[in-house]
């Protein structure tokens, strides 16, 4: 009797916008372990090349880089189409870049506030809409976008950044609703405070701080299954539920 050897399935083709972010790099390593083809997009070629080389060692089928100023896309749809062509098609798209900015500066300087909004909402929205059109045209695939728990309620410590993330949340949830009967999926992942370069100036101690690897595991699962909004780690869903429903008389006394 002839033994039939199972043939491996096609490799996932993964596009990561913001490939040098800590969460993106940790997520890319998970994809690499699956043998996926990965295209990392960002501005820092040296860092992207280093990450790509590491992904190759970790098992990626292909690990390539593309240089783009994601915060100022001239034509997001055309660029995205080019990225997909480089991969030979795309299955998963991760939008993972952003800036925290300085709330005190943004509160007094309109240009600083505009920069936070432009990077975290305007440009991200352009990429998300382009990705939605691409995935809808092929009838399959996943768009996963990194949001933030900061978007759940305006707080004095980061309300400009939070406003941008709140807008992005509404956009991605709308795309998920649009996809409901068409095949692709869109997911917003809302991390809590995470130990990455973005939070380097903060006191990063306590049980509420997550490592990028923990958030990456949530991101990777979200590309395959789950609802349109996922918190990372999971307990932030309940923390933010409490914060959202606190009466203003109590909320306004909190220094958060």
**CB contact at 8 A, 161 and 148:** yes
Q: What number of other Cβ atoms are within 10 A of residue 245's Cβ? A: 9
8-state DSSP, 197 = G
Burial, 1: exposed, middle or buried (Cβ in 10 Å; 0-12, 13-18, 19+)? exposed
**CB contact at 8 A, 41 and 18:** yes
With a CB cutoff of 8 Å and minimum separation 6, the contacts of 20 are 40, 42, 44, 47, 48, 51
Kindly list the distances between the CA atom of residue 193 and the CA atoms of 190, 210, 237, in Å, as whole numbers in the listed order.
10, 6, 13
Q: Which of 51, 27, 31 is nearest to 216 (CA)?
A: 27
For this structure, is 31 an active site residue?
Answer: no
What sign has the CA pseudo-torsion 57, 60, 65, 70? Answer: negative
Beta strands 92-95 and 13-17 are parallel
* Catalytic site residue from 31, 97, 161, 231: 161
**CB contact at 8 A, 169 and 186:** no
State the Cα–Cα distance between residues 10 and 228, nearest whole angstrom: 26
Write out the catalytic residue numbers: 161
């Amino acid at each position: 009797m002839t033994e039939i050897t199972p043939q491996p399935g096609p490799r996932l083709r993964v596009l990561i916008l913001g490939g040098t972010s800590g969460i993106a790099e940790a997520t890319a390593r998970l994809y690499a372990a699956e043998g996926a083809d990965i295209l990392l997009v960002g501005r820092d070629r040296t860092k992207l090349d280093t990450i790509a080389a590491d992904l190759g060692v970790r098992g990626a089928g292909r690990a390539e880089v593309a240089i783009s100023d994601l915060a100022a896309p001239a034509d997001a749809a055309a660029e995205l189409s080019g990225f997909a062509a480089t991969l030979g098609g795309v299955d998963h798209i991760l939008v993972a870049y952003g800036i925290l900015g300085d709330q005190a500066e943004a509160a007094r300087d309109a240009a600083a506030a505009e920069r936070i909004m432009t990077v975290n909402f305007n440009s991200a929205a352009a990429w998300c809409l382009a990705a939605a059109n691409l995935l809808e045209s092929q009838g399959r695939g996943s768009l996963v976008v990194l949001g933030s728990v900061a978007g759940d309620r305006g707080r004095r410590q980061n309300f400009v950044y939070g406003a941008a993330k709140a807008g992005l949340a509404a956009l991605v949830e709308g795309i998920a609703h649009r996809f409901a009967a068409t095949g692709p999926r869109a997911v917003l992942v809302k991390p809590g405070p995470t130990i990455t370069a973005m939070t380097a100036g903060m006191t990063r101690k306590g049980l509420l701080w997550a490592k990028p690897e923990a958030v990456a595991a949530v991101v990777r699962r979200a590309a395959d299954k789950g609802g349109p909004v996922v918190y990372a780690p999971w307990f932030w869903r309940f923390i933010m539920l409490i914060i959202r429903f606190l009466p203003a008389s109590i909320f306004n006394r909190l220094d958060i």
